[in-house]
Amino acid sequence: MPKTAFVTGITGQDGSYLADLLLSKDYHVFGMVRRSSTENFARIEHIRDRITLIQGDLLDASSLIKALERAKPDEIYNLAAQSFVPTSWDQPILTGEFTALGVTRLLEAMRAVCPDARFYQASSSEMFGKVREVPQTETTPFHPRSPYGVAKAYGHYITLNARESYDLFAVSGILFNHESPRRGLEFVTRKITRAAAAIKLGLQDSLELGNLDARRDWGFAGDYVDAMWRMLQQDAPQDYVIATGSTHSVRTLVNLAFASVDVNPEAHVRISAALIRPAEVDLLVGDPSRAKRELAWSPNTSFEQLVEMMVRADYDDLSGTHLGATARQTRTLKTIKSRRNALSAK
């Protein structure tokens, strides 16, 4: 009998990879999407006819109840969140509503509609913040450094509390940074890989960045969604750190990405004070031993392979080799501009 999964955040990076994985395992996949005046389905376009989308919003508890009543899921993956750290200083209350209280709304809806389902919460290494030990494990204390990190810590503990109070199968994966060619353009990896490709192609001249000394444990999103699924197949609910165990600076990432297209970063990269954060997370590196031991999970993609994959995808997209949505938009705008110029010249 095929299982049914309900995924919030299905239009995001992780939601799209998780949907791919669940479909490959013959799940019925329901994805929750927010109503928008323009569709935002680029990452799930290739599987649109194989999944069922239900409108709902983490801000609206009644929409969550109705969505779960319709999907009747065996597994719930709560991936939706306001996930960009700098935005959390500009919109701290909204971030708390989505990223913190949204978890409670979904857990309460699950309790009311399908208490026997299994629940996955997307916790984050941002909760470790000003780290108390290196590497970070499931027992490292939290010291979040942004409203986003604080909201994630709430989501983490409310999930643990649901497990302890109501005996729900509710778990958190404490995932370290994970990236892919589907990563949002504002996150540092994608910003850098896209810029390296664009500069190589003569489409961009410079790249502004903030703190080059920050260090992150970067893995591949495709590997990490497999860990989420494995957590919900265990006999007993348990939280896990998911990481590679290696850490690199933003500077190393820049050098690697630019070297892969044979461009000298020093000629193009500038530091902008506006991109320095009010409080920084200087060093993240996770210890995935428990996941290796109990989930038989380990990452398959190295940092070097990840950067290479992302630069190549951006290069292909921008050069039109596999004309992607962003490149198509850029080209259409250029065509409109040149037609307008030609008309006004007449």
Where on the chain is the footprint of ligand GDD (CB under 6 A)?
83, 85, 124-126, 176-177, 186-188, 191, 209-211, 214, 216, 250, 275, 277, 280-281, 284
Q: Which is nearer to ligand NAP, 23 or 263 (CB)?
A: 23
Where on the chain is the footprint of ligand NAP (CB under 6 A)?
8-9, 11-15, 34, 40, 57-59, 79-83, 98, 122, 124, 175, 177-178, 184
Cα pseudo-dihedral 31, 39, 91, 213, rounded to 10: 80
> Residue 296: which H helix or E strand, with range?
none
Paired tokens of 96: 């708390």
- Which of ligand NAP, ligand GDD, none binds 85 (CB below 5-8 Å, type-dependent)? ligand GDD
Which one of 16, 63, 123, 124 is the catalytic residue?
Answer: 124
Q: CA separation (Å) from 182 to 80, 280, 286, 305, 311?
A: 16, 25, 23, 15, 12
Least Cβ distance, residue 105 to ligand GDD (angstroms):
19
Least Cβ distance, residue 269 to ligand NAP (angstroms):
22
Q: Which is nearer to ligand GDD, 107 or 284 (CB)?
A: 284
Catalytic, 148? Answer: yes
Q: Which is nearer to ligand GDD, 10 or 71 (CB)?
A: 10
- Cβ–Cβ under 8 Å, residues 29 and 50: yes
Strands (DSSP E) found in 106-168: 118-124
Least Cβ distance, residue 45 to ligand GDD (angstroms):
22
- Which of ligand GDD, ligand NAP, none binds 58 (CB below 5-8 Å, type-dependent)? ligand NAP
Least Cβ distance, residue 311 to ligand GDD (angstroms):
16
CA–CA gap between residue 192 and residue 210 (Å, rounded)? 12
Q: Is the dihedral of CA 259, 262, 264, 270 positive or negative?
A: negative
Least Cβ distance, residue 284 to ligand GDD (angstroms):
6
Paired residues of 216 in beta bridges: 248
Which one of 77, 125, 126, 179 is the catalytic residue?
Answer: 126
Paired residues of 264 in beta bridges: none
CA–CA gap between residue 338 and residue 325 (Å, rounded)? 20
Within 10 angstroms of residue 31's Cβ, the number of other Cβ atoms is 28
Q: Which of 199, 215, 214, 300 is nearest to 257 (CA)?
A: 199
- Which of ligand NAP, ligand GDD, none binds 66 (CB below 5-8 Å, type-dependent)? none
Catalytic, 157? Answer: no
Catalytic, 186? Answer: no
Show which residues are catalytic. 124, 126, 148
